[in-house]
Structure 1
């Protein structure tokens, strides 16, 4: 779970996801890509001792960047057989981990893609707290993926060279298909990405280089990074294993 300055949203969403995160076969790798909210995050995770947390922190502050490096740090720190990539602002509308794992168990060699809708905390409150009622369109098969960890490791994770918003999920999917990992969008794998204000579409500040789209959709290799990927930072701030 890549994390970048989202403490207010995380405080609201975590109690909703906690019953799913607390399952005995689950651990949550929370990867802070800068350190400014570390103390607040640690106080929060300690309020949920039934969850197997590993919190990894980047000690160097920086502006927003694509979450590829953070996700890769999480992959390299995970010990589970499967990895579910998701946002800390995304609430499970259905039992997403169970839906994803059941699909992969029945269809080995596949990846399960979640369907994500966008909403506000006010919309959930207006629906009497019902995430299902607030789960309305537009709904897209983006923002979450569950796949065997060994398949992500074979790809060397997400492409850490991306420096713009967008494209990293597409690129990973293309590279998974290059290794005969079949992708299945599951309509019952529902997540609601929550915020305080209605979502605004991120505007591209300047046109990307001409080869950027080709790099996203037509990568030269299934492997994205050299050895050392996922090791941009390593400090463990909290660990259920110790």
Structure 2
């Protein structure tokens, strides 16, 4: 099956060559673990390969996201100009503030958000989609399980490779549906001064079964391929 490069240095080898084409990857982690950086790296790699991408910004404004990208050494303006990247402002509807962005979600309901994001993908013929974050997007739905199945089905029909950022999955079954529907699950976490990455699931492919240290630098996320011994 065709593979898709993640944009995180060292990670593709741990995934058996990369993400599977036209699948959904759930990237979980607490605030500050690098979920947004992961999304940006994924889309940056796509732009470099001339694979258009969409970033649905539910947590922060596109202006802030552009700032984060610049700090990682990527000026997204050129990619936007070439229609290799489209940023959807999905945060203004939640905050109630006016937006100066070209692509703005104005309705708060989950169905409206999903339809708008899919339309944005169609506009640039996107091959990649990142949603930051899935947790915030699902907060717009009264039926989380139904919403997740809608999202999964829509992505499958659109034939898009997606990265879905999410808060850490809890116990007591919380997060089970997200993990079940995702083809790949990657967990980012902090352990003291270390940042650790674990591939919890990679459907239909061999993958590393160990935790690996990773760093965030100007180039984005870099994963140490050596197995971690604690």
Q: TM-score, normalised by structure 1?
A: 0.26
Which structure has the larger Rg?
1
TM-score, normalised to structure 2, is 0.27
